[in-house]
Amino acid sequence: MQRTRWIGAGLLASALALTSCTSSPAGVDAKQDAKAELELWTRTTPGGPGEKATLRLVAGFEKATGHKVKVTAIFDDFETKLQQRAAQRNLPDIVMNDVTQLGAMHSQGLLREIDLSKIKSSQDLVEQGRNSGRGVDGKQYGIPYSAQAGALLIRKDWREKLKLTAPQSWDDLAAMAEAFTTRDPDGNGKQDTYGLAAPLSTKRGYASWYFSNLLWAAGGDFITEAGQGKYKPSMTSKESTEAVRWFRALGCEKKVIQPGAVTMDTPPTNETFEAGRTGMYIVGPYLMSRFDKSLGKDKYEVVPMPKGPKDATVLAEGGSLYLMAGSENRAGQDAFAGYAISPAGQKLGMEGVDGSTVQLPVNKNVDVTEVRPDPRWKTYAEVYRTSGRYAPSVPNWTPVRQTTAETVNALMADCSLDADEKLRELDKKLAGILQEQGIAG
């Protein structure tokens, strides 16, 4: 049965503009039918492990509730296809997508507001996870179902050979990076190892993505809240400037970051760690299965990031459920969200050797070790809950990330540049981006 889903009146004019700055109301409500089949889109490769994991989750939901769900997996041109459906006024009921897409989807009028009192288990969400689903207006538009956060991977065999302990501070981190670079930790008699693996390419904003783990731990920020959903640039603050200088010194003075880092995104950076060219890597849990096979589980360890000048805050990311505007089965939308974040849904989402929908649970009552007894997963879960921080849900985070990545990349690529001058230029660019998005404060 063909179903029409009405969306905000402002969307059709901006359906192809991801940088739209104003949100539209959900528009005309569709006639409700609590038995209508739900259409779910998930951003993953068709036929791949991600789709199979989603189908397992949906099967559990259907068995538990009686609702029916049709799953569509899309990876290439996901946003374009979603906008095409928006223009046809025929949105899917539910979208499983990255948490950073909230701002863009909300600003286009694609999402309906979520009443958390109608979502079972929402009171058990990890606080920062729940808050990641709020728009700049403070209202709820997303529900997290999976999370991840960065921890520090260390070549355990190198650390033990050099009789070092896991770093507890930034000074310790720098000292270990220098030791891994200069003291021949692999014992081959050559100066061919480096302390820290870092993807610092401008591609997709990787340099900014990586650097956020250090910037926030120093008390700095890319942009800061100015009240009432407004933001202001913050890269020239004392804390941000000091974080940039400290990190830059690792590359320019101590030379403990792998050569060519400024041209590398994650795939070649991953290779430096598993090939024994770098000894530390700040990264999420998704690479453990790969490194266990390529490097060996006994060769490396997972520890929390050491405390920076302020704390040990690291970047949190993950997937969110978006309940799309104009659905004729809002009760079914709410039910699916509640099941996905329930203990049963979270545990089912973590199961499977061929892929999963859940990296780290977002329900504070779910222990990851009940499904994954490996203690390294528990380390990651504790890091997420105690130190994880999401990027803000501004209308479009991409230009903020990309612009800051270009500056971080430039400063690491050319050690002769004046850092203070480049950061002042960056803040001016950020001010323009915030102004364009209507959130400058």
Q: What is the mean pLDDT of residues 22-50?
A: 82
What CA–CA distance (Å, rounded) separates 232 from 215?
16
Tokens of 173: 């981190």
Residue 19 confidence (pLDDT) above 80: no
pLDDT, mean of residues 209-218: 98
Residue 28 pLDDT = 55
Same domain, yes or no, for 259 and 361?
A: no
Q: What is the spatial distance between Cα 424 and Cα 407, in angstroms, rounded to a whole number?
A: 10
pLDDT at residue 12, rounded to an integer: 38
Average pLDDT over residues 351-358: 87
Q: Give 309's DSSP letter.
A: S
- The CATH number of the domain holding residue 41 is 3.40.190.10
Residues 245, 303, single domain; the answer is yes
Closest CA to 265 of 215, 204, 213, 212: 204
The reply to whether 289 and 259 lie within a common domain is yes
pLDDT given at position 29:
75
Mean pLDDT of 413-441: 98
Predicted structure pTM score: 0.92
Predicted local distance difference test score (pLDDT) of residue 127: 97
Long-range contacts of residues 248-255, Cβ cutoff 8 Å, at least 24 apart: 248/411, 248/412, 248/415, 248/419, 250/174, 250/177, 250/195, 250/196, 251/198, 251/412, 251/415, 252/412, 252/415, 254/174, 254/177, 254/178, 254/181, 254/195, 255/181
Torsion of CA 181, 187, 192, 197, to 10 degrees: -50
**Structure tokens belonging to residue 310:** 């302020």
Domain's final residue, options 373, 389, 405: 389
What pLDDT was estimated at residue 432? Answer: 98
pLDDT for res 256: 98
What pLDDT score was predicted for residue 394? 96
Query: Dihedral of CA 295/301/302/308: which sign?
Result: negative
Q: Tell me how many domains the chain contains.
A: 2
Residue 297 Rama label (left phi>0; alpha psi -120 to 50; beta): alpha
Residue 122 within any structural domain of the chain: yes
Under a CB-based contact definition with an 8 Å cutoff, are residues 54 and 87 in contact? no
- pLDDT at residue 73 in the model: 98
pLDDT at residue number 7: 37
Q: How confident is the model at residue 3 (pLDDT cuts 50, 70, 90)?
A: very low
The pLDDT of 107-126, averaged and rounded, is 97
pLDDT digits (tens, 9 = 90+) for 165-209: 999 999 999 999 999 999 999 999 999 999 999 999 999 999 999
Question: Does residue 184 sit in the same domain as residue 270?
Answer: yes
Averaged pLDDT for residues 286-309: 97
Residue 3 lies in a domain: no
pLDDT digits (tens, 9 = 90+) for 145-167: 999 999 999 999 999 999 999 99
Q: 440 falls in which pLDDT band (50, 70, 90)?
A: very high
pLDDT over 60 at 303, yes or no: yes
> Do 119 and 187 share a domain, yes or no?
no
Domain range for residue 57? 33-148+316-389
Evaluate whether residue 23 is within a structural domain: no
The per-residue pLDDT of the chain, averaged, comes to 93
pLDDT band for 32, please (50, 70, 90 cuts): very high
- pLDDT for residue 350: 97
Task: Verify that 117 and 39 share a domain, yes or no.
Answer: yes
Closest by CA to 40, choosing from 68, 60, 15, is: 68
**Same structural domain for residues 357 and 240?**
no
The reply to whether 27 falls in a domain is: no
Question: Are 160 and 230 in the same domain?
Answer: yes
Least confident of 14-18, 219-223, 228-232: 14-18
Q: Quote the percentage of the chain above a pLDDT of 70.
A: 94
Least confident of 26-30, 169-173, 202-206, 400-404: 26-30
pLDDT classification of 20: cutoffs 50, 70, 90: very low
Cβ atoms < 10 Å from Cβ of 273: 24
* Same domain for 164 and 116: no
Q: Which two tokens stand for residue 196?
A: 């820290």
pLDDT of residue 4: 33
